[in-house]
C-alpha cells in the first residue's frame, strides 16, 4: 500500500501524527457531497432552499472524513502504547489508513490495535444516535445520518478480510493459537483474498441487475484483494529472511571496476562475462560508487569506446552502506526506500561485498521451495 503515500498532502498534525489527504480523497469527497446535497437531504428534508442542501451535504461529508480520521487515530494511539511509531494517517478514496512502522509485539497487541478502530466508530455512532434522539430539525437529520455511517463503518471493518480490521483481529486469534506470526498473516491474507473475490463477483452480479452501487463493491474488493496479496507476499519474504544476516546472502566474490576503463570494456569484460547487474567502482583501493546496466543504457552505443566509467558511474551515498551483521530484511527495506538494487557491505572502513535485491529474491525463492 505504499503507493497510497505518494500523491498525498499533509493537512495537519494530531498528537504528533501527520494527517495526509490522498488526491483520490477529493474525488470521493465531491461524490459524497453531491449525493447528499442532491438526493439524501432533499428526500429526508423536502422544500428547503438548494443552498441549504449543499451546506448540509458539505458539512456532513467533512464530518464523515473526521469520523474516518478518528477511527484511524484510535488504531494509532493504541499502537503507540506498544511503542509502535506512526508515520502518518492518510485519507483516500476507500477511507483511511494509519501507516505504522513495525508489527505488533504479540497477539494481544494486534487484537487491541485492530479492534480499537471499530470500537471508536461504534462510540461515535452512539454519540450521534444520542444527538439525533435529543435534537430537532437539521441537527437531528445530520446526527441520524452520521450515526448510521459510523455504525456501518464499524461493522464493515469487522469483516474478517485482511488487511481490514476484522482480518487483523482474525490474524491475532490465529497467531495466539498457532504461535506463528507469519503463518497467521498468510492465513488471514488468504481468507482476505477469498472475501475480496466474493465482493468482486457480487459487485459484478449487482451491476448486471442494474445496481450501480455494485461498481463500488468491485473497487473495494479489488483494493482488499491487492492489499491482501501484498501482505501475503511480504509475510513470505519476512519469514524466509527471519534470522538471516546480510553476510549469509551477500556476494561472496566481489568484482570491482576501475573508473578509467571505457564503457565498451566494462560491457565486454565485466557485464557480459560475469552476468551481474552492477559493479563497485574502485580506484587505488578507494570505493567511489557503482555502475549498473541502467547507467550503461544511458550511453549511446556508438559512444561506448569514447566514454569512461568515471563519467557515468553513480557516486556512493552513505545510506547505501550496510554491515554484514545487519538483518537481511533491514537491508531489503533500505533498498526499497532508496530505490536501489544493491547495497555495499562495509566492515569498518573496508568494502567487503555487495548485497542485491536479485540475490535476496533468489534466496527467498529457494527457501520457499524447501517448505
Q: What is the DSSP string of 213-277?
A: THHHHHHHHHHHHHHHHHHHHHHHHHHHHTT-BHHHHS-SS---B-TTSBHHHHIIIIIHHH--S
Rounded to 10 deg, the angle between the 357-370 and 214-241 helix axes is: 90
pLDDT in tens, 197-251: 999 999 999 988 888 778 888 988 998 999 899 888 888 888 889 889 999 999 8
Closest CA to 146 of 130, 125, 131, 118: 125
- Is the pLDDT at 64 greater than 70, yes or no? yes
For the chain, what percent of residues have pLDDT higher than 90?
A: 52
Give the bridge partners for 315, in sequence order.
289
pLDDT band at 92 (very low <50, low <70, confident <90, very high): confident
Confidence (pLDDT) at 73: 94
List the beta strands (DSSP E) in the chain: 8-14, 17-22, 85-92, 95-101, 278-283, 286-292, 314-315, 321-322, 342-347, 350-356
pLDDT in tens, 351-363: 888 898 888 988 8
Question: Residue 47 burial by CB count (10 A; 0-12/13-18/19+): exposed, middle or buried?
Answer: exposed
Q: For residue 298, what is its C-alpha cell?
A: 544511458
Q: In whole angstroms, how far apart are CA 272 and each of 178, 275, 293, 343, 359?
A: 48, 5, 11, 21, 18
Q: For residue 12, what is its C-alpha cell?
A: 495537519
Confidence (pLDDT) at 336: 86
Closest CA to 110 of 90, 84, 149, 91: 84
- Is the pLDDT at 108 greater than 80, yes or no? yes
- Is the pLDDT at 13 greater than 70, yes or no? yes
pLDDT in tens, 321-344: 899 999 999 999 888 888 888 898
pLDDT band at 305 (very low <50, low <70, confident <90, very high): very high
CA separation for the pair 33, 40 (Å, rounded): 10
Task: Determine whether the annotation assigns residue 75 to a binding site.
Answer: yes
Q: For residue 370, what is its C-alpha cell?
A: 524447501
Average pLDDT over residues 251-275: 91
Confidence (pLDDT) at 2: 52
pLDDT in tens, 174-186: 999 999 999 999 9
Task: Determine whether the annotation assigns residue 165 to a binding site.
Answer: yes
CA separation for the pair 132, 142 (Å, rounded): 8
Which one of the listed residues 72, 112, 239, 295 is annotated catalytic? 72
Global pTM reads: 0.78
- Is the pLDDT at 111 greater than 90, yes or no? yes
Task: Determine whether the annotation assigns residue 106 to a binding site.
Answer: no
Average pLDDT over residues 52-65: 93
pLDDT band at 96 (very low <50, low <70, confident <90, very high): confident
72 is catalytic: yes
In order of their start, the domains of the chain are: 2-241 (no CATH), 246-370 (3.10.580.10)
Average pLDDT over residues 1-15: 72
- Is the pLDDT at 72 greater than 90, yes or no? yes
Amino acid at each position: 500500500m505504499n503507493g497510497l503515500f505518494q500523491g498525498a498532502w499533509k493537512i495537519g498534525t494530531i498528537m504528533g501524527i501527520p494527517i495526509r489527504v490522498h488526491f483520490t480523497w477529493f474525488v470521493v469527497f465531491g461524490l459524497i457531497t453531491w449525493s447528499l446535497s442532491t438526493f439524501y437531504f432533499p428526500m429526508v428534508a423536502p422544500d428547503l432552499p438548494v443552498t441549504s442542501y449543499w451546506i448540509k451535504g458539505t458539512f456532513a461529508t467533512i464530518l464523515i472524513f473526521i469520523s474516518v480520521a478518528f477511527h484511524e487515530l484510535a488504531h494509532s494511539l493504541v499502537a503507540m502504547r506498544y511503542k509502535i511509531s506512526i508515520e502518518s494517517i492518510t485519507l483516500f478514496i476507500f477511507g483511511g489508513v494509519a501507516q505504522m512502522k513495525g508489527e505488533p509485539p504479540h497477539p494481544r497487541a494486534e487484537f487491541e490495535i485492530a479492534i480499537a478502530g471499530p470500537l471508536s466508530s461504534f462510540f461515535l455512532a452512539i454519540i450521534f444516535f444520542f444527538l439525533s434522539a435529543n435534537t430537532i430539525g437539521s441537527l437531528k437529520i445530520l446526527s441520524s445520518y452520521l450515526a448510521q455511517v459510523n455504525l456501518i463503518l464499524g461493522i464493515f471493518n469487522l469483516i474478517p478480510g485482511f488487511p481490514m480490521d476484522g482480518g487483523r483481529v482474525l490474524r491475532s486469534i490465529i497467531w495466539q493459537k498457532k504461535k506463528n506470526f507469519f503463518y497467521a498473516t498468510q492465513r488471514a491474507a488468504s481468507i482476505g483474498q477469498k472475501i475480496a473475490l466474493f465482493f468482486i463477483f457480487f459487485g459484478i452480479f449487482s451491476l448486471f441487475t442494474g445496481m450501480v452501487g455494485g461498481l463500488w463493491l468491485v473497487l473495494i474488493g479489488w483494493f482488499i484483494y491487492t492489499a491482501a496479496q501484498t501482505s501475503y507476499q511480504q509475510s513470505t519474504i519476512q519469514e524466509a529472511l527471519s534470522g538471516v544476516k546480510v553476510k549469509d546472502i551477500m556476494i561472496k566474490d566481489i568484482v570491482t571496476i576501475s573508473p578509467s576503463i571505457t564503457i565498451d570494456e566494462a560491457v565486454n569484460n565485466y557485464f557480459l562475462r560475469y552476468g551481474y547487474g552492477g559493479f563497485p567502482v574502485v580506484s587505488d583501493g578507494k570505493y567511489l560508487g557503482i555502475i549498473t546496466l541502467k547507467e550503461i543504457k544511458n550511453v549511446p552505443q556508438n559512444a561506448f569506446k569514447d566514454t569512461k566509467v568515471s563519467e557515468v558511474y553513480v557516486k556512493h551515498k552513505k545510506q547505501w552502506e550496510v554491515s554484514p551483521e545487519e538483518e537481511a530484511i533491514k537491508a531489503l527495506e533500505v533498498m526499497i526506500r532508496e530505490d536501489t538494487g544493491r547495497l555495499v557491505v562495509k566492515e569498518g572502513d573496508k568494502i567487503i561485498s555487495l548485497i542485491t535485491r536479485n540475490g535476496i529474491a533468489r534466496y527467498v525463492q529457494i527457501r520457499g521451495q524447501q517448505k
